[in-house]
Structure 1
Amino acid sequence: MNFAIIGCGFIAKKHALAIKNISNAELIAVCDRVPETMEFYKNEYGAKPYLDSVEMLKDKNIDVVCICTPSGLHAVIAEEVAAAKKHIVLEKPIAMTLEETDRIINAAKENDVKLTIVHPNRFRTAVQETKKILDQNLLGKISHANCIVNWNRGQEYYNQAPWRGTKTHDGGVLMNQAIHNLDLLLWFMGTPAEIFSMEATRLRNIEAEDVSTGVIRFENGAIANVQAATTVYPKNFEESITIFGEKGTLKIGGSNALYFEHLEIQDLSESDMKLIIEKVESDPWGTPGHQRIIEEMIFALENNIDPAVTGEDGKNALKLVLAFYESAESKKIISI
């Protein structure tokens, strides 16, 4: 499969490295408005640089395009890519609004191209093991969950580009950092029904929120607490998901939600639980998430199936973030 990248900022390097590490994938083109940003990809990967995406998309050898632009530009670029009959790997969040999201999903359907959204945390070893445990109903009926992202993003992070921290092109901690964890919460817990949230911009000079807290009630009756911030001093403190069930409790924790900090399940022996913990500790990251996303796209194309993370998955995560925002602004419980 031949790949191209649109938007050659920081995250594009993860896509390029992922493509390089896949035997049947090659990066052949990149596009950015700033010529200097493409020099690395030209020299390192032999990718042909383009200043104009429309011109690049005329290349019939390109099979898949990775869109790595600011989030507010996702819709218009994804529509261009779909119209050119190229498959789409789209960075999170899928878009900034549900209207833009529907445009992206519809463009992919109308042009018969596949669309996947980059929610790579699903492929971490502890997350995969947690999903197996839940799918086997080993925790029984779920009571509640905690989802925490207490990280550090200093002002210099937001000063890197004028679009960072804006409501139009980036969003705050929920849209930009915690959306990965909200995606996992949906994957683990099911469909949300009600949301109540408060947010603030406390320490960073940005338009969007730098701290948020909220509560979700799911359709099955379970409740989840969500806390997210980029105001933590002096570095990332905690990324965790804890799930409490009638027959078990588990917590994926650490500064990057990589390890089981707690695992206690009624129907698993001590030795079984130890094996799961040791499996995670021996390879916590697993195959890098961006690589897995792209491998799953290739697999979907080869077998004509949906990618592992679909456009609808991306839409559901965005819908949850937007409900948090609506609740915080209206100071009311929001029904989804």
Structure 2
Amino acid sequence: MNFAIVGCGFIAKKHASAIENIEGAKLVAVCDKVDTAMEFYATTYEAATYNELSEMLSHEDIDIVCICTPSGFHANLAVEVAEAGKHIIVEKPIAMTLEDSKKMLASAKEYRVKLAVVHPNRYRPVVQELKKLLDSGKLGTISHANCIVNWNRGQEYYDQAPWRGTKQFDGGVLMNQAIHNLDLLLWFMGTPAEVFSMEATRLRKIEAEDVSVGVVRFESGALASIQASTTVYPQNFEESITLFGEHGTVKIGGTNALYFEHLEVAEMEEKETIELKEKVKNDPWGTPGHQWILEDMVHAIQENREPAVTGEDGEMALKLVLKMYESANNNIQLKY
């Protein structure tokens, strides 16, 4: 499979590295408005360079296009890629509005191409193990959950580019940093029924929020609390998800939700618990999530199936963020 990348900023290098590690995959083209941004890919991967997406899409050998631009540009680019008959992998969030995400999904369906969204945290070893526990029923009925992302993003982070921290192209801590954790919360807990949220811009000079606190009631009846910030001093403090079940309590945590911080399940003996915690601890990152996402797209095309993280999955995470924004802006509890 031949890949192309549009948008050659920081995250594009993760895509290029993933492509390099996938058997039979090759990065053949990149696209960016800035010539110097593409030099690394031309030199390292011998990728053809283009300033315009339309020109790159005329490259007949391209099978899959990775969209790595600022989030506010995702929708129009994805539609153009779909119209050219190329499969799409888009960085999170899928888009900035539900109108745009629906436009992307409709275009992918119309032109019969596959659309995957980069939510790579699903592939972290500890997350995979927790999902297995949850799906096995060993935790019993889930009463509630905690979802926390308390990180540091200094003002210099936002000052790197004029689009950072804007509501049109980037969003705040929910849309940009915490959306990965929100995706996991939805993957574990299902569809929300009600949302209430409060947010603020406390320390960073940005348009969007730098701190947010919310609660969700799911269709199952379970509750969840959500806390996210980029204001923590002096560095990332915690990324975690805790599930409180009828027969088990599990917390995955650390600064990047990589480990079992608490694992107590009625059906698990002490030896099994220790072995599982050690297994994760010995290889906390596993195969990089971007590689999983990109390689899965290759297999999805070959097997004519949906990608593991679909456009609809990406839209679910986006919808939760937008509902939390709407609740906070209007100070109301919202039906989902």
CA distance in 2, matches of 1:285, 1:331: 39
- Partners in 1 of 2:259 and 2:46 — Cα distance? 38
* Structure 1: gaps (5+ residues): none
Shift of 1:23: 1.6
2:224 is paired with a residue of what secondary structure? strand
Q: Spell out structure 1 runs of 4+ moving beyond 2 A.
A: none
CA distance in structure 2 between the partners assigned to 1:118 and 1:75 by the alignment: 15
The answer to whether residue 25 in structure 2 is matched with residue 9 in structure 1 is no
- Aligned residue type for 2:218: F
- Residues 171-228 of structure 1 show CA distances to partners (whole Å, capped at 9, x for unaligned) of 0000000000000000001110001000000000000000000000001110000000
Aligned to 1:33: 33
Whichever residue aligns with residue 30 of structure 1, its letter is: V
Shift, 1:270, TM fit: 1.1
* AA matched with 1:308: A
Distance (Å, rounded) in 1 between the aligned partners of 2:209 and 2:137: 36
Post-superposition shift, 1:254? Answer: 0.3
CA distance in 1, matches of 2:25, 2:156: 35
> Is structure 2 residue 81 aligned with structure 1 residue 84?
no
Mapping for residues 96-111 of structure 1, pairs under 5 Å: 96-111=96-111
Question: 1:108 deviation in Å?
Answer: 0.4
Q: Which residue of 2 aligns with 1:178?
A: 178
Match of 1:189?
A: 189
Which stretch of the first structure deviates more once superposed, 109-118 or 277-286? 277-286
Q: Secondary structure of 1:260's match? A: strand
Give the corresponding residue for 1:223: 223
For the residues of structure 1 that align with 2:121 and 2:24, how far apart are their CA atoms? 23
2:72 corresponds in structure 1 to 72
> How far does the alpha carbon of each residue in 1:140-189 deviate from its partner, in whole angstroms, 9 at most, with x for none?
01011000000000011001110000000000000000000000000001
Size of the aligned set, in residue pairs, is 336
Q: Percent identity?
A: 68
Q: Which residue of structure 2 aligns with residue 314 of structure 1?
A: 314
Q: What whole-Å deviation, never above 9, does each CA across 1:277-334 have from its counterpart, x for those lacking one?
A: 1111111111001000001101101100100000000000000000000000010001
Q: Does 1:260 align with 2:260?
A: yes
Q: How many Å separate the matches in 1 of 2:138 and 2:71? A: 38
RMSD of aligned C-alpha atoms? 0.5
Write out per-residue CA displacement over residues 17-41 of structure 1, whole angstroms, 9 at most, x where no aligned residue.
Answer: 1101112110000000000100010
Q: Distance in 2 between matches of 1:193 and 1:272?
A: 36
Q: Which residue of 1 aligns with 2:234?
A: 234
Look up the equivalent residue of 1:6 and give its one-letter code: V
Instruction: Establish whether residue 331 from structure 1 lines up as the match of residue 331 from structure 2.
Output: yes
Counterpart for residue 163 of structure 1: 163
Structure 2: tracts of 5 or more residues without a match? none
- Structure 1: how far apart are the matches of 2:330 and 2:52? 41
Distance 1:174 1:199 in 2: 10
Give the 3-state SS of the residue equivalent to 2:94 in structure 1: coil
Matches of 2:189 and 2:278, distance apart in 1: 25
Deviates more, 1:195-204 or 1:267-276: 267-276
Cα distance in structure 2, aligned partners of 1:235 and 1:86: 40
Amino acid at match of 1:208: A
- Per-residue deviation, 1:274: 1.6
Amino acid at match of 1:20: E
SS at match of 2:308: coil
SS of residue in 2 equivalent to 1:73: helix
Instruction: Tell me, in whole angstroms, the C-alpha distance in 2 between the residues paired with 1:135 and 1:25.
Output: 33
Q: How far, CA to CA, are the matches of 1:168 and 1:156 in structure 2?
A: 20
Q: Equivalent residue for 1:205?
A: 205
- Tell me the equivalent position of 2:292: 292
Q: Under a length normalisation based on structure 1, what TM-score does the superposition of the two structures give?
A: 0.99
* Aligned mates of 1:218, 1:156 — CA distance in 2: 37
Report the AA paired with residue 268 of structure 2: L
SS at match of 2:178: helix
CA drift of 1:271 comes to 1.4
Deviation at 1:49, TM superposition (A): 0.5
Aligned: 1:51 with 2:39? no
Cα distance in 1 for partners of 2:273, 2:189 equals 21
The 2-side partners of 1:175 and 1:284 are apart by 25
